[in-house]
Amino acid sequence: MTSGPGGNSGATDEGVTGAPGGNSGATVMERRGWPKSKWVEMAAVVLVLLLTAVPVGWCGREDFTGALTFTGRMTGAALMVVALIMFLGIAAVVDYWVRGPISNLGVVALFSTGVALLANALLLIQTWSDGERAIFPMLFGSLTVGSILAIVVVWRALDEIPAPKRVAAALIVSTILGIGNFSYQNLYQPYRRGAKPLVHLTVGKAVLNRDGKAFAVPVDIKLENHSDVGFYVLGTEFHAMGERAPVSKSDRLYRQWRIDAERWGKYREKLPLTRRDVYQPGQLVAAQPWIAPGNWIEANDEAVARTVVQLPIDTPYDHLAFYATANIARKDRLGLGRLEQDQYSWRGAKLPKWAQEKGGGDSIVYRFDMKENNAIDRHTRKPRCVTIYWRFNVHGVDVAESITRKGEENRVNTAIEDSDARERYGLIDVLAGPIEQTLWEIKSRR
């Protein structure tokens, strides 16, 4: 009889002490929103933050130390701050999951996951629209989804959010700053009003030599950059064309003008339609580069060169026409590396179809390594090179450039690809001429 009550009493005590204790623990777990696999969730949140912080911090460091513009370096600094927030978020997540409600770092964990979501979403947009490696949109797309889930997990784990208005304000400000910087870098800068240097040609007076059997014409060439950005010089050329233009004794017929106009599509020179002058296609008498490929001109600077064109006094030409061009690229859009090679068409250099002269001729080929102007594009786009073709024949000279992926130098770009490359990298062709000078006065001194 005594054992029964004792047993009953023991059983009752066990039920009283055990059940309430178990119910209390379950209630706390349910209230805090922690599932039984809380440590797996913690590891998942930490992994999302870590996989986001490492590439963001790496690209930020590269841009901060090597971006081509001040804005790019400030973007690098911002990316490094974002990465630091996420590293602090990792510590906050671990601390909150281990210590529970007594930790006051839950809000830091929530804020860091929000920053991770913003960073991954912006990187997904950029790599999807501008990248060329499929792995990066897949990576940042997965991290974007992971960041959303991480926010949900951390939100459920919090008992309450202290100062929710301040947390919301911090998230909103971070979002505005991130979107603003992204828009400035990817929307405003590429399409803002472009700068364009000028090439000036100044032709001096022809001068006879001592024995009167030859003469020389001095020519000054100046590249002026009045903009606030620097430019790489991809290629330059100066050339002089000798023109024969005998005067007809009678007016030329209208159909002869048509014949002259048809020549405009065959030669680089556009000879005028005249009533009495019978212009013949010009012939090259002198040509040379006047700035070596790979050099550059800084903002608000100028480069000057002088050359001399010499001819015998009994030259058959009636006029000289002078031309100069400079093919340049903005220094804030690309980085020009070392000269990889220079080749010659007459020694077997391969040329794309568009660079081959229709009427015969030769080309000198320069090829430079190239880098993008920011770390994200350098890692998500395929490496490229800049190829310059210095082309010449008896009817003139010109310079053409092409930006292609490495290994595809001889591939013919589409018109859209060429247009996109010119816009993206700030490619500009600056032309001067023709500057015509008659030779009648100097030849009359014979």
Q: What is the pLDDT of residue 225?
A: 92
373: left (phi over 0), alpha (psi -120 to 50) or beta: alpha
Q: What is the pLDDT of residue 7?
A: 42
Q: What is the pLDDT of residue 1?
A: 42
Report the C-alpha gap between 180 and 173 in whole angstroms.
10
- HEC readout, 227-290: CCCCEEEEEEEEEEEEECCCECCCCCCHHHHHHHHHHHHCCCCCCCCCCCECCCCCEEEEEECC
Q: For residues 36 and 105, is the Cβ–Cβ distance under 8 A? A: no
As its CATH architecture, domain 198-244+282-443 has Sandwich (2.60)
Q: Which amino acid, one-letter code, is at 44?
A: A
* The pairing of beta strand 283-288 with beta strand 301-312: unpaired
Q: What is the pLDDT of residue 320?
A: 92
Strand partners, 253: none
Q: For residues 418 and 400, is the Cβ–Cβ distance under 8 A? A: no
Q: What is the pLDDT of residue 51?
A: 92
Burial class (CB in 10 A: 0-12, 13-18, 19+), 434: buried
Q: pLDDT 10s digit of each residue in the chain, 446 long?
A: 444 444 444 444 443 344 444 444 333 334 344 455 677 888 888 999 999 999 999 988 988 888 777 777 888 888 898 899 899 989 888 887 777 665 567 778 888 888 899 889 988 988 898 888 889 999 999 999 999 998 888 888 776 555 555 555 555 665 666 555 555 555 455 555 567 889 999 999 988 988 888 999 999 999 999 888 889 999 999 999 998 877 777 777 777 888 777 777 666 777 777 777 777 778 899 999 999 998 999 988 999 999 999 999 989 998 899 999 999 999 888 888 888 767 888 888 888 888 876 556 889 999 998 888 888 888 889 999 999 999 998 888 989 999 988 888 888 888 888 888 888 898 999 999 889 898 888 887 76
Residue where the block lists tokens 């320069």: 366
- This prediction has a pTM of 0.76
Report the C-alpha gap between 325 and 333 in whole angstroms.
21
- 3-state percent breakdown (helix, strand, coil) of the chain, nearest 5: 45, 25, 25
Going 422 to 423 to 427 to 433, the CA torsion angle's sign is positive
- HEC readout, 356-425: CCCCCCEEEEEEEEEEECCHHHHHHCCCEEEEEEEEEECCEEEEEEEEEECCCCCCCCCHHHHHHHHHHH
249: left (phi over 0), alpha (psi -120 to 50) or beta: alpha
Q: Which residues are within 8 A (CB) of 305 and not within 5 positions of it... i.e. 6 or more apart?
A: 220, 221, 222, 238, 290, 291
Q: What is the pLDDT of residue 277?
A: 74
Q: Which residues are within 8 A (CB) of 423 and not within 5 positions of it... i.e. 6 or more apart?
A: 190, 191
Report the C-alpha gap between 181 and 282 in whole angstroms.
53
Of the CA atoms within 13 Å of residue 340, those in its CB half-sphere come to 14
Q: For residues 149 and 41, is the Cβ–Cβ distance under 8 A? A: no
Report the C-alpha gap between 168 and 155 in whole angstroms.
13
Of the CA atoms within 13 Å of residue 47, those in its CB half-sphere come to 11
Q: What is the pLDDT of residue 328?
A: 94
DSSP string, 179-238: HHHHHIIIIIHHHSPPP--EEEEEE---EE-TTSSEEEEEEEEEEEE-SSS-EEEEEEEE
Which of 228, 238, 226 lies closest to 302, judged by CA?
Answer: 226
* The pairing of beta strand 427-438 with beta strand 396-405: unpaired
**Sequence spans of domains, the chain:** 32-191, 198-244+282-443
Burial class (CB in 10 A: 0-12, 13-18, 19+), 171: middle
